[in-house]
Amino acid sequence: MVRPKRMRRVVTCHRHELNKSLKPIELSVDEFEAIRFKDYHNIKQTESAEFMGISQSTFHRILNSARQKLATSLIEGRPIVIVKGDTMIDPNKYLCEDCGFQWSNPEREYEECPDCKSTNIRKLNANNKRTQMSNDTCSCPNCGYTEPKVRGVPCRTKTCPECGSPLQGRGLCNIQ
C-alpha cells in the first residue's frame, strides 16, 4: 500500500509575476545548453560534458551557475535573456528522427539517440568536412563592423566603435 502524501510546510503561496522593469538575468548559451541536456533531456553530466567538449567538472560549474540564475529569475520575477558568447556551433551534428534531439561529438560515432535510445538517427552535414573558421578578425554581430584580431586578446573584451555591441570571433554563436 502506498503511503499517503504528507502536507508540506511553506512560508507563503508564491506567485511568479514577471517584472520587465527589472534588470534581466543574462543566461549564456552554454548555460542554456547545460540546462537543456541535464534538466530537460535528463542526460548524465559526463555524457553532456562530452557533447559540449568540456570536462565534467566544468559542465557541473556551468550547470550550477545556470540553475542559480533560473532560481533568481523565478523568485525575483526578473526576465531572462540568452546572451552570445564564445560558443561554437558544430556543423557536424546528429538528429534523432523520433524525438527531435540534436547533439554533436566529433570524437565519437553514434548508433542510437542518447535521449530516447532510438536507432532512427541521421548525421546532419554528413557530406561536409568540418570547415575551419577564420579566427583572424573580430566582428560585430549587429552592424557587421570588423577589425583584425589581436593574439591573446579575446574579441568579447572589445566593443564595436560604431554601435557599442561586444565583438565576436568568427564561428561563434550569434544570438540576436
pLDDT at 20 over 50: yes
Q: Which three cell numbers stand for residue 130?
A: 568540418
Q: Which residue, 109, 113, 129, is CA-closest to 121?
A: 113
Q: What's the pLDDT tens digit per position in 94-124?
A: 888 888 888 887 777 888 888 888 999 888 7
- Residue 19, classed as helix, strand or coil, is coil
Q: What's the pLDDT tens digit per position in 129-174?
A: 333 334 577 877 777 788 888 777 777 788 889 888 887 765 444 4
